[in-house]
């Protein structure tokens, strides 16, 4: 597959304007040239993305799905380029932290807030990516730290680790008017439960998959929605769409207010260790000073030669 970035930007422009002529003007192209680039993109992905019979132009179902991917790819590329360019600037004290998506909205801001005094003269920058990309960024020196769940499937002898806290991956669903779960994983008898899932290739997806492979008792889970974001699954669970496994730190308020309820016992739950990683090699003075503060707070770092990250 050979897709040019400019094609993605063309496609996103067309999706917003719903007009070949307006997008061609915006992209500084003639309309025929713009149309050829959209056709080249469709040929590369092997699907018709645009319904040209409608006025204004609309995306096909495949186009609407591809739009989300294209938007994310372009945004990530721009962010990466901006970050690489900023690395050249001198005199700016910046500590870069790669953060998994699930931790980026809650635990990371709380960690930075707790370090306000130590970071008074230093700017921190959050780089949100999946675990595999974050590990590569750490190895290549693009980031100083990685905040992620411990994952025994990844080799990490090059890293040192601080264990920050232990959370739990918990099955939850919406509560009925009496505060009982709409769906109960421990209910007697055969049942079919709508299931809000993660993709198998991400860390939380692998955790749930391993749990279900040794489920406490048979339950038929009917997949109804999938997202790599725990917060998206939480929102769907709040709407009564099914059962989702969500980290405990992300649902404390919803559980307290009774909007969500835990719908399975301890056997349906998975412990999650939140850790901060760095490379074992020497880092900048600012990073080393902050690491010493964190070691004092959380205990000595672990040289994780067992292969966990």
The tens place of each residue's pLDDT in the chain, 309 residues long, gives 678 889 999 999 999 999 999 999 998 889 999 999 999 999 988 899 999 998 899 999 899 889 988 888 888 888 777 766 665 555 557 888 998 888 888 788 888 888 888 877 788 888 887 777 777 788 788 889 999 888 664 556 778 888 898 999 999 999 888 888 999 998 876 578 999 999 988 889 989 999 999 988 888 999 999 998 888 999 999 999 999 999 999 999 999 989 999 999 999 999 999 989 888 888 888 888 889 999 988 876 555 433 343
Contacts of 290 (CB under 8 A, 6+ apart): 95, 115, 118, 119, 122
Question: 17 near 31, Cβ under 8 Å?
Answer: no
280 with 153, same domain? yes
**What contacts 279, CB < 8 A, 6 or more positions away?**
138, 139, 141, 158, 159, 160
Q: Residue 193: which residues within 8 A CB-CB, separation 6 or more?
A: 183, 185, 219, 220, 221, 222, 242, 243
Report the distance separating Cα 245 and Cα 89, nearest Å.
42
Please check whether residue 308 lies inside any domain of the structure: no
Burial class (CB in 10 A: 0-12, 13-18, 19+), 49: buried
Range of the domain at 195: 167-272
Cβ atoms of residues 119 and 290 within 8 Å: yes
Residue 146, domain member (yes or no):
yes
Task: Provide the 3-class DSSP secondary structure of residue 151.
Answer: coil
Q: Answer yes or no: do 211 and 157 share one domain.
A: no
Domain total of the chain = 3
Let me know if residue 12 belongs to a domain.
Answer: yes
50 shares a domain with 180:
no
């Amino acid at each position: 597959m050979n897709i040019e970035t400019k094609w993605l930007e063309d496609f996103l422009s067309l999706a917003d304007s719903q007009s070949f002529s307006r997008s061609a003007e915006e992209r500084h192209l003639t309309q025929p040239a713009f149309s050829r680039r959209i056709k080249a993109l469709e040929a590369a992905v092997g699907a018709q993305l645009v319904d040209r019979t409608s006025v204004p132009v609309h995306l096909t179902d495949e186009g609407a799905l591809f739009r989300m991917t294209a938007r994310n790819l372009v945004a990530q590329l721009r962010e990466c380029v901006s970050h690489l360019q900023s690395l050249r600037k001198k005199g700016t004290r910046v500590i870069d932290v790669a953060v998994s998506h699930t931790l980026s909205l809650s635990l990371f801001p709380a960690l930075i807030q707790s370090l306000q005094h130590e970071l008074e003269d230093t700017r921190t920058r959050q780089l949100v990516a999946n675990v595999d990309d974050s590990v590569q960024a750490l190895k290549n020196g693009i980031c100083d730290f990685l905040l992620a769940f411990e994952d025994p499937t990844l080799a990490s002898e090059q890293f040192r680790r601080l264990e920050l806290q232990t959370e739990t991956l918990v099955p939850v669903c919406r509560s009925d008017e009496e505060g009982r779960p709409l769906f109960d994983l421990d209910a007697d008898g055969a049942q079919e439960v709508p299931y809000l899932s993660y993709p198998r290739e991400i860390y939380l997806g692998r955790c749930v998959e391993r749990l279900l492979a040794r489920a406490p008792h048979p339950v038929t889970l009917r997949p109804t929605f999938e997202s790599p974001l725990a917060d998206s699954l939480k929102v769907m669970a709040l709407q009564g769409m099914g059962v989702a496994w969500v980290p405990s730190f992300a649902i404390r308020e919803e559980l307290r207010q009774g909007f969500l309820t835990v719908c399975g016992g301890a056997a349906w739950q998975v412990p999650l260790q939140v850790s901060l990683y760095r490379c074992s090699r020497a880092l900048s003075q600012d990073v080393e000073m902050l690491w010493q503060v964190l070691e004092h707070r959380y205990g000595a770092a672990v040289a994780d030669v067992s292969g966990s990250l």
